[in-house]
Amino acid sequence: MGLQVLLIVVLVVLLAAGGTYFFGVVPRRWRIPLDESRELLDSADRADLERADRLIAQAVNAGPRGWALEDARFAQAYVRARLGDFDPDQYAAAAAALADLVAASGHDEATAFLDLWLRSKMGQHSRVCDLFESERALLDWSPQARLIASISFLKQAVASWRRREPQGALHYFRQVRELDCLTAEIPEHVDDMELVEGVQALFDDRMSDARDCFTNAHEHAVQEGKSAARATLGLLVCDWREGERANADGGLGAVLEELAQTPDPDPEEQRLRVNAALFHVVTLLHEWQRPELAGVAPGRADFARLDERIDRVVRAEPDHGDALLIAGLCRYYFAVRDPAMREQGVALLERGLETARPIVHPEARRIVRFERELGDTTTGRDRYVELIDESLRNGDLSPEKRRELLALRAEMERRYARYGDPAAVAADAGPAEHPSVRDISESNELMRARLRGIAGPLLRDDPERPGVEELKQSVDEVDAASKRFKDGFEAVQSARQDLIVRTGEFLLNEAPPEKES
């Protein structure tokens, strides 16, 4: 019995001693240095922080368990993070200590924030972004955490854009906007990044990439309740480049209506309107090329639609040379037996060339130059008709020559439909005083000069034109008759009249005769 009591007493003593050791002596080994280190954590002195790090290491080596070990490891990571201000290598040491704690216990609000801060200090912005997105529930409460995340999102956005990854850049910029922190650093037209990349892909002939960019831009615009006109325009351009043009005209009309809803567009928006309106002109020309319209010239309604679209371009940019050139070419080439439309076309071409002066348009310039020369010829025809009218007023004109000149003038009226009634001119022709010899001589020289100006442009452009020899022969006859003028006044008058007739025949001979085979 006494032995049993002794054993119980010894056991109680051992348990008390063990309890005192494990619950008193051992905890003091880590608790005392840990408590001492906590008094130094608020210090900004490097020596104090280094001493705190040593005390915490001593505490960790003393073998704390459970929550005590977690506190010691967090304190160790924290103090090493503070030492990173003096020695950047300490940031990595702090991250390693924190990683052991997170691996054992996971993140809480304190460890998540410290981890975020350390990754930012080490420049690991991708890790910062991933950590904030994965542990947002633990970090979103902290303004400092939101600021750190916003900085990293901005840096990642810039890096993605430099790698030509617009989707990634937009994702990060939208994260910054969602955090409502550092939003002033977001580029003004960040939502246009996909559009910019799409346009660049178009220029690089990467049609698939361009279509993806415009499609994503369209989806994002719809999701955010913004205008999708630009993205739609990009998709229409992709369709056009790939030959899918059936819906281009209607689609562009809808885009232009949507763009017109902005009352005061900025310069960039204005340029977009101009180019979209010009594209709408081109799609109409493509409509005119439909197979079912082959060989059919555009009618008044078609030109009215063209004028409406040209006017839209010119209203947006009054001196847009391309639109004026298109309008001029269409009028010029479709002006079949319509001199007024032809003249309108030439006038528009001249205006367009003046506006687009730095750009070379050889076809348009050739047309304008040709029409100017043709205008010289037309002016010559006018002067020729005036000469006929003067001759018809000559009272000494023989009936035969009068009929011949009237026939020439009637043919000019039929051919060019711009002169008056020849019968009215004949009715006004009254008797004239007989000219003197000197008057006749001077009149001969004047007539030669006038006829040279009338026929000169045609002779210059087509030296082989039919009737050239006959015209020269008539001139020679006038010269010969002038020399014999004193001996044959009637011969001179007859030669003059023949010269007028030959000139009319020359002017009316528009096409060379076909050669006999």
Q: How far apart (Å, rounded) are the C-alpha atoms in residues 311 and 328?
A: 13
Return the pLDDT at 419: 42
Q: Identify the H or E element spanning 80.
A: helix 67-83
What are the tens digits of pLDDT across the range 73-96? 787 788 788 888 888 888 888 888
Top mean pLDDT of 20-34, 52-66, 491-505 is at 491-505
| Percent of the chain topping pLDDT 70 | 70
Are the beta carbons of 52 and 78 closer than 8 angstroms? no
Q: Which two tokens stand for residue 267?
A: 């310069």
Q: pLDDT-derived band of residue 31, with 50, 70 and 90 as boundaries?
A: low
Return the pLDDT at 150: 92
327 pLDDT more than 80: yes
What residue ranges do the domains of the chain occupy?
Answer: 188-244, 264-359, 371-508
**CATH classification of 264-359, choosing from 1.10.1060, 1.10.3470, 2.60.40, 1.25.40?**
1.25.40
pTM over 0.85: no
Calculate the average pLDDT of the chain: 75
Return the pLDDT at 35: 64
What are the tens digits of pLDDT across the range 333-377? 887 667 778 778 888 888 888 776 556 677 777 777 777 665 555
What are the tens digits of pLDDT across the range 83-140? 888 888 888 888 888 888 888 888 888 889 989 999 999 999 999 999 999 998 888 8
Are the beta carbons of 350 and 327 closer than 8 angstroms? no
Residue 23 or residue 375, greater confidence: 375
431 three-class SS = coil
| Percent of the chain topping pLDDT 90 | 5
Are the beta carbons of 444 and 482 closer than 8 angstroms? yes
Residue 284 or residue 516, greater confidence: 284
